[in-house]
Amino acid sequence: MKWLHPVGKALARGFEQLGQLWQRLLCWLFNMRRGWGRRRWPDYVVFTLEGELVERTPIQPRYYSLLPFFQTPITFESLTDALRPIAQDPDVRGVLFLVKGASLSLAQAQSLGSLFKRFRRWDGESNGQRAAFHPKEVVVFLEQTGNALCALAASADRTVLPPLTDWNATGLHSEPTYLADTLAQVGIHFDVIKVAPWKTAYDRFNRSTMSEAEADQLGWLLDGLYADLVAAIANGRNLPPADVRELIDNAPLTAQDAFYSDLIDEIAYEDELPWLLRVTDQTKDGKLQEREARLLTFAKARRYLLRHPRKRAAGSVGVISLSGAIMPGKSRRFPVELPMIGDSIIGSSTVQQTVRAAMDNDDLAAVVLHIDSGGGSALASDLMWRELELLARKKPLVVYMGNIAASGGYYIATPANRIVAQSATLTGSIGVISGKPVTRGVYDKIGANRYSIRRGDNADIFTDQRAWEGEQRAKIEAQIDHSYSNFKARVAEGRKLPYADLDPICSGKVWTGSQALAHGLIDQLGDFSAALDAACELANLPVNGSVAAVTVQADRPRLPISARKLSLDDDQLAFADLASILLRRDWERLIGAERIWYLADGLPRF
HEC string for 125-144: HHHHHHHHHCCCEEEEEECC
Name, in order, each residue with C-beta under 8 angstroms of 254's C-beta and a sequence gap of 6 or more: 166, 167
Contact 193, 476 (CB under 8 A): yes
Contact 421, 522 (CB under 8 A): yes
Neighbours of 68 (CB within 10 A): 4
Contact 399, 531 (CB under 8 A): yes
What is residue 371's predicted lDDT score, i.e. its pLDDT? 97
Residue type, 261: S
**Domain locations along the chain:** 39-62+70-170+251-304, 316-599
The CATH number corresponding to 316-599 among 3.90.226.10, 1.10.1270.20, 3.40.50.620, 3.40.718.10 equals 3.90.226.10
Burial 518-541 (b: 16+ CB within 10 A, else e): ebebbbebbbbbbbbbbbbebbeb
Greatest distance between any 2 Cα atoms in the chain: 100
CA distance 171 to 251: 9
What is residue 454's predicted lDDT score, i.e. its pLDDT? 87
Q: In the sheet where 94-103 sits, what is the strand order?
A: 266-267, 158-161, 137-142, 94-103, 44-52, 295-297
Contact 111, 422 (CB under 8 A): yes
- Domain 39-62+70-170+251-304 matches domain 316-599 at the CATH topology level: yes
Name, in order, each residue with C-beta under 8 angstroms of 135's C-beta and a sequence gap of 6 or more: 120, 123, 124
In the chain the first and final C-alpha atoms are separated, in Å, by 62
Neighbours of 423 (CB within 10 A): 21
pLDDT beneath 70: ranges in the chain: 1-39, 58-72, 333-343, 555-594, 605-606
| CA distances in angstroms from 170 to 228, 505, 533, listed in the order given | 14, 30, 35
Helix (H) or strand (E) holding 404: strand 397-406
CA distance 189 to 38: 71
CA distance 71 to 87: 23
Residue 192 C-beta-side C-alpha neighbours within 13 Å: 21
What is residue 20's predicted lDDT score, i.e. its pLDDT? 63
What is residue 57's predicted lDDT score, i.e. its pLDDT? 77
CATH number for the domain whose boundaries are 39-62+70-170+251-304: 3.90.226.10
321 forms bridges with which residues in the sheet? 370
CA distance 346 to 46: 34
What is residue 13's predicted lDDT score, i.e. its pLDDT? 60
What is residue 433's predicted lDDT score, i.e. its pLDDT? 92
Contact 333, 560 (CB under 8 A): no
What is residue 431's predicted lDDT score, i.e. its pLDDT? 95
Model's pTM, two decimal places? 0.87
Neighbours of 204 (CB within 10 A): 17
CA distance 602 to 340: 8
E-strand ranges in 440-558 read: 510-511, 524-525, 548-551
What is residue 69's predicted lDDT score, i.e. its pLDDT? 57
Decide: residue 576, CB within 10 A, 0-12 exposed, 13-18 middle, 19+ buried.
exposed
The candidate with the shortest Cα–Cα distance to 395, out of 552, 182, 274, is: 552
In three-state form (DSSP H/G/I as H, E/B as E, the rest C), the secondary structure along 327-344 is ECCCCEEEEEEECCCEEE
CA distance 294 to 158: 17
Phi/psi for 299 (5° steps) reads -60, -35
